[in-house]
Amino acid sequence: MDDLKYLKLLSKEFNTIEKTISEIVKLKAISVLPKGTEYFLSDLHGEYTSFIRILRSASGNTRQKISQEFKYEMTEDQMNELSNLIYEPSNFLTLMTKSGDFTDSWVRKTIFNLIKLLKVVTSKYSRRKVRNKIPEAYRDLIDEMLHIDYVEINKQDYFDTLIDTIIEINASKEIITTLCHLIQNVSVDCLHIVGDIFDRGPRPDIIMDVLMDHHDIDIQWGNHDIIWMGAALGNRALVANVVRIALGYNNFDSLEDGYGINLRPLYSFAMDVYKDDPCDRFMPRIVDENKYYSVNKYATAKMHKAISIIQFKLACQILKRNPQYNMDHRITLENIDFDKNVYIPEDGKEYPLLDTNFPTIDRDNPIELTDREHEVIESLNTSFRHSEKMQTHLKFLFDKGSVYKVTNSNLLFHGCIPMNEDGSFKTLVYDGVEYSGKSLMDFFDEKARETAYLPRSLNSKERQKVLDLFWYMWCGPISPLFGKHKMSTFENFFIGRDLPISKEVSDPYFKLSKKEEFVDKIFEEFNLNPKTSHVINGHIPVKLKDGQQPISANGKMYVIDGGISKAYQPKTGIAGYTLMFNSHYLALAEHSNYEVMESVHGAYTPKLHITERFPERLLVKDTDEGKEIEKRIKELTDLFEAYKQGIIKERTK
């Protein structure tokens, strides 16, 4: 018999034979239920409206279920109306009340339909699992309604009485809202976010709040997440970087309203120092023309330039104090000849600078901040540090996030596993130790976590050294979160976009991972079965309109960055992907039209491509959760044996 001590501990919870047996039976029953539906999304980039719509509609799945269930008894409009209600119950109910349509008969019909749909979407879950998802106040009532067989006449009366009571006690709005949330909730059993929640789009903070509310979620950190984490932990170069990106996209809302970051000191500084500089190269991109901005774009450009210069200086300082990054050639400000106003990189050629006004740069020491720049970055850093919301989000990113995740035979990570041209894994040498493949991913994961546990008060060299690594994860050539030979932010501003010198060369991984043999090699590295496994990546927008495909390597490799980010939609030609993994198949939902997604509530259904059908329906016992359940059943069976043999005594009190 296994570990008696452990069994004794277990017997505290299951103190009788009866309880033990009933738990074994419950677990056995759960393990033969169909597996829940997993959703994979990546590169949300602050686009909260689309994200929320995708989530609430279960990527269009709810609308499909409504069609299947009600197609013979409802018109298209009625089915759309029901979807609208489910996606946004409070808005919908307000509209209904205003228009006078919120009548008792509508309530009756609606609760009946919602229960009917809820039965469908919960059919593959255990009663216990569903019960636990129902808010306590309505748990018994909804559970009861779900399990009434309303075909029987007397039961139908009973059902009607329940609804009458709901109406009488004025609880109909709450019950309807609860039912809608429940349908949303059970439809997405598990959510995987394969990186890049932040930057470019308007409200990553709202996305984070929604994610924090989800019952089963994991996150694989993207390069755009790691910079917010590094910034929240006190990496000044990254504080500057996230503010720079926000200003570059004219996004004040998430910084100011979302996180309460005080941009005043930066504003005053920029207006003073760059007052006569038009800062043309720093004009913000305005993706959504209809937006109202509180700061005019000329002032934003000045702030954008001011923070960019601060970022370049601080980034150069990081590279200087970390020669082992092998990134000395990226100490950009030291490659400038300020007499000739040219940039001279490694190739020795001279590139004329498009902007030559550097009022804060000391030519003898171009990477040093001026006193005022120092004040600006310190005040921003303090603001980041004291933002309660930001620190809460940081904690959540640590709790639920990691560099990679293996789940149900899928390997999830945002960027890449750096490779050489021949398909061998690239090696990073850090403090004399070599890391590659899986150990490289583990290295960054561990280092990131180390920072979180080193006390902040201890502003030591040790903490700074680990914190600097967040910069490497953002743009280092052997960073699995980035995967390009350099990040050309400097070149884009000062030499020109779309020039050969500004080209960022992707890691060979991106080409090789399209081939099955290299993906199999990755599976081997992670100890995964090549026959049943998949790699799921984000990061690189799939340019569908140029003929690129999200699936390669004989169906083993998925790249699901379809461009939820509005800024990238012209490149991809679509509005994003969701990968769905249910008990029957893997499928990609292709979201094609933002306008429809954001305005015509409910009518929206994405194009669904089933990409792999399983020969047999997958059950809970075929999943990681199933393996845990199996272990638990084994332990409980041992406990049962121990009771039978009298090794452990039942306790009734």
Ligand X SMILES: O=P(O)(O)OC[C@H]1O[C@](O)(COP(=O)(O)O)[C@@H](O)[C@@H]1O
Residue 315 to residue 330: CA distance in whole angstroms: 9
Q: Please, which residue, 458 or 505, has the CB nearer to ligand X? A: 505
DSSP states of 285-349: P-S-TT---SS-HHHHHHHHHHHHHHHHHHHHHHHHH-GGG--GGG-GGGGEETTTTEE--TT--
Nearer to ligand X, 35 or 244 (CB): 244
> What is the smallest separation between the CB atom of 60 and ligand X, expressed in angstroms?
25
For residue 487, state whether it binds ligand X (rule: CB under 6 A): yes
Percentage helix, strand, coil, to 5, in the chain? Answer: 55, 10, 35
> If binding is defined by CB under 6 A, does position 539 make contact with ligand X?
yes
Q: Which is nearer to Mn ion, 447 or 539 (CB)?
A: 539
The answer to the question of residue 491 lying near ligand X (CB under 6 A) is: no
Q: Report residue 32 as tokens.
A: 């033969």
Rg over CA atoms, the chain? 28
Nearest-approach distance from CB 537 to ligand X, in angstroms:
11
Instruction: Count the site residues for ligand X by CB under 6 A.
Output: 10
- What's the min distance (Å) between Cβ of 366 and ligand X? 22
The piece of 80-88, 228-236, 480-488, 596-604 that touches ligand X (CB under 6 A) is: 480-488
Measured from the CB atom, is 224 or 236 closer to ligand X? 224
In the complex, the smallest distance separating the C-beta of residue 411 from Mn ion, rounded to whole angstroms, is: 17
Structural contact between residues 304 and 252, judged by C-beta atoms closer than 8 angstroms: no
47 sits near ligand X (criterion: CB under 6 A): no
| Exposure of 141 in the CB half-sphere (CA atoms within 13 A) | 19
Task: Give yes or no for a contact between 316 and 332, defined as CB atoms under 8 angstroms apart.
Answer: yes
State the nearest-atom distance from the C-beta of 227 to Mn ion, in Å. 10
- The angle formed by the CA atoms of residues 560, 57 and 102, to the nearest 5 degrees, is 165
Dist CA 58 CA 185 (whole Å): 9
State yes or no: residue 196 binds ligand X (CB under 6 A): yes
Interaction residues for Mn ion, span 513-542 (CB under 5 A): 539
Span near Mn ion by CB under 5 A; candidates 203-211, 221-229, 589-597, 636-644: 221-229
CB of 193 to Mn ion, least distance (A): 12
Span near Mn ion by CB under 5 A; candidates 130-138, 216-224, 267-275, 431-439 = 216-224
Nearest approach, Cβ of residue 57 and ligand X (Å): 25
**Binds 484, which of ligand X, Mn ion, none (CB < 5 to 8 A, cut-off by type)?**
ligand X
For residue 78, how many C-alpha atoms fall within 13 Å in the half-sphere facing its CB?
13
Stretch that binds ligand X, among 149-157, 273-281, 317-325, 487-495 (CB under 6 A): 487-495
What does the alpha-carbon distance between residue 451 and residue 462 come to, in Å, rounded to a whole number?
9
3-state class (DSSP) for residue 217: strand
CB 359 to ligand X: min, Å: 24
- Tokens 């060979």 belong to 508
Cα separation, 403 vs 415, in Å, equals 9
Q: Which residues bind Mn ion (CB under 5 A)?
A: 196, 222-223, 539
In the complex, the residues that contact ligand X under the rule CB under 6 A are: 196, 200, 223-224, 484, 487-489, 504, 539
